Amino acid sequence: MNFLELQNKILITEIKNDINLENTLECGQCFRWKKINNKYHGIANNENITVYKKNKDLIIENSNINNVKNFWVNYFDLNLDYTKIKKYLSNTNTYLLQAYESCPDIHILNQEPWETLCSFIISQNNNIPRIKKIISKLCENFGYKLSNNNFSFPDYKIMSQLKKKDLEIIKSGFRTRYILNTAEKISTGEINLEEIKNMEINQARKKLVTLNGVGPKISECVLLYSYHKLEAFPMDIWMKKVVDKLIANKDIKIFGKYAGIAQQYLYYYIRKNKHILEL
């Protein structure tokens, strides 16, 4: 990997593991990236960046080169050997091979734990367009303004001070008390998100589901999308259908330590090709 700085752009060349931004940013692991004219606009690390591909190179605008090296390379998971992992998974399931072809080069992002946790609490029994809307309103109303219409995700300290009435504006319904209760537990230190990062996965699972409104599915999402525990396997209604109909013996153990990556390909592939589940 090599970094070139020109004006406000940083060009990342010689990336060993090709990343497809559309598949990575629209496969259901994140909710805040927006595509405008073939470029993606998003916020993390209190930076509002634009990212796009030029051939195999990745271009990041509005960041400084040190942040790109330290934060964004990790965020987009550019150092993990996805070729090796896909090969490891390649003889497990024929639909997975179709998914590789149909939606290639998905990377599992390294997202910030609080944003991921809160976002997936909002996601429960909800549809993706509305999830995005609720999260957007949450940021507009309680985040920091970074530029024109771009707001940071509000941190848990701010949210722990909010009341139910304050959140009525975001229309998160029955999930509101879960959000507030979780923000409270993290603020008081009852749950430490930094500690969970270093825990063994089963220990981390146990800790996360102690949060009110966090069950096995949301827990797996946080483990995979922000703690990068690649064996985590979020089992939502779609993946239940996939496991039920498309996986031999309905056994996800075949995916081993990279189950989460198999899950991400299958999830996105099946949501774009729902007819496969009708077979």
Partner DNA sequence: GTCCAGGATCGGA
Partner DNA sequence: TCCGATCATGGA
Under the binding rule (CB under 7 A), the answer on residue 202 touching DNA is no
Contact stretch for DNA (CB under 7 A) within 128-136, 140-148, 150-158, 188-196: 128-136
Closest to 225 measured CA to CA, from 85, 124, 106, 144: 106
Q: Of 107, 205, 264, 270, which one interacts with DNA (CB under 7 A)? A: 264
Under the binding rule (CB under 7 A), the answer on residue 277 touching DNA is no
Q: Which residues from 40-69 bind DNA, rule CB under 7 A?
A: none
CB of 94 to DNA, least distance (A): 20
Q: Of 127, 149, 202, 249, which one interacts with DNA (CB under 7 A)? A: 127
CB of 268 to DNA, least distance (A): 7
Under the binding rule (CB under 7 A), the answer on residue 235 touching DNA is yes
CB of 9 to DNA, least distance (A): 30
Under the binding rule (CB under 7 A), the answer on residue 109 touching DNA is no
Size of the site for DNA (CB under 7 A): 38
The two three-digit tokens of residue 44, written as one number = 């993390």
CB of 49 to DNA, least distance (A): 22
Comparing CB distances to DNA, the nearer of 12 and 239 is 239
Q: Which residues from 237-256 bind DNA, rule CB under 7 A?
A: 237-239
- Which stretches of the chain bind DNA, using CB under 7 A? 27-29, 120, 123-131, 133, 168, 171, 173-174, 209, 211-219, 221, 234-239, 263-264, 267
